[in-house]
């Protein structure tokens, strides 16, 4: 008969299921979003490594790698022996897109036009370079989006995650860094009321988007660069047209 101490030990340390290898990225994305949304402000100290280990249920190695990658974004700095702090973004004339740059529907359409050029090429590169691990993450994002369709959800997190995984699959960190910088504001329905106004209704709208994502995924899976580029261009061009059609005619002004 097992001793009480053995039982207590086993119950206190239950076997944990193995997690995906994307934990570092998951932590970085979460912290970047927290900082960009103003929940952590310049000068504020990040939680300790131990607190992150508990919060995300990960090892110290994972936390340290995540903090290292977070430093590379220029959003934080580590002061040895003190901790990691959010820092004030440098006041430079570098390229930036701020929330106030999305004041009108035309502004959102302008960003979609930028995305068409960038993400079309990203899809082509992703088809050439994707790994088995990339496909797993793309499939997970597709499933999350599909699961969000029947419920009362705008599916924005899953939508953004899919585009982020395409960027990562390029193997070019600059694509992923740009997507991280832009965040979920690249999804038009975070900025304007699209789902409330589309003629076909929320369900049909999201089903169309999901079908377009599937076309992109299939081309990347099959390593068909031309089809991947075409599928991404079609998807984002359709998004632009859906946005235009969902708005009053006087709300959309051509540039």
Predicted confidence band of residue 92 (pLDDT cuts 50, 70, 90) = very low
Torsion region of 81: left, alpha or beta (phi above 0 gives left; psi -120 to 50 gives alpha): left
Inter-CA distances, 98 with 165, 182, 186, 205, Å = 23, 9, 11, 27
Average pLDDT (28-46) is 88
Question: Is the pLDDT reported for residue 198 higher than 50?
Answer: yes
| Phi, psi for 197 (deg, rounded to 5) | -115, -10
Question: Which of 18-27, 55-64, 212-221, 243-252 is predicted least confidently?
Answer: 243-252
Q: Is the pLDDT of residue 46 over 70?
A: yes
Instruction: State the pTM of this model.
Output: 0.59
- pLDDT of 181 reads 78
Q: Name which of 71, 98, 69 is nearest 86 in CA terms.
A: 71
């Amino acid at each position: 008969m097992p001793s009480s101490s053995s039982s207590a030990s086993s119950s206190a340390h239950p076997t944990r299921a193995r997690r995906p290898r994307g934990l570092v990225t998951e932590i970085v994305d979460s912290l970047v979003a927290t900082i960009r949304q103003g929940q952590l402000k310049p000068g504020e100290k990040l939680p300790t490594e131990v607190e992150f280990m508990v919060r995300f249920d990960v090892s110290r190695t994972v936390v340290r790698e995540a903090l290292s990658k977070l430093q590379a974004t220029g959003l934080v700095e580590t002061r040895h022996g003190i901790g990691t702090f959010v820092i004030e973004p440098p006041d430079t004339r570098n390229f930036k897109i701020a929330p106030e740059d999305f004041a009108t529907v035309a502004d959102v359409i302008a960003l979609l036009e930028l995305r068409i050029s960038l993400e079309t090429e990203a899809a082509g590169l992703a088809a050439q370079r994707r790994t088995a691990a990339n496909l797993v993450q793309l499939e997970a994002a597709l499933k999350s989006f599909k699961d969000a369709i029947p419920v009362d959800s705008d599916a924005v997190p899953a939508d953004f995650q899919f585009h982020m995984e395409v960027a990562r699959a390029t193997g070019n960190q600059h694509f992923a860094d740009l997507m991280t910088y832009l965040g979920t504001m690249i999804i038009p329905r975070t900025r304007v009321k699209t789902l409330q106004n589309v003629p076909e209704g929320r369900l049909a709208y999201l089903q169309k988007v999901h079908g377009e994502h599937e076309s992109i995924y299939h081309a990347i899976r099959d390593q068909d660069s031309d089809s991947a580029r075409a599928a991404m261009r079609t998807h984002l061009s359709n998004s632009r047209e859906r946005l235009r059609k969902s708005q009053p005619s006087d709300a959309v002004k051509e540039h």
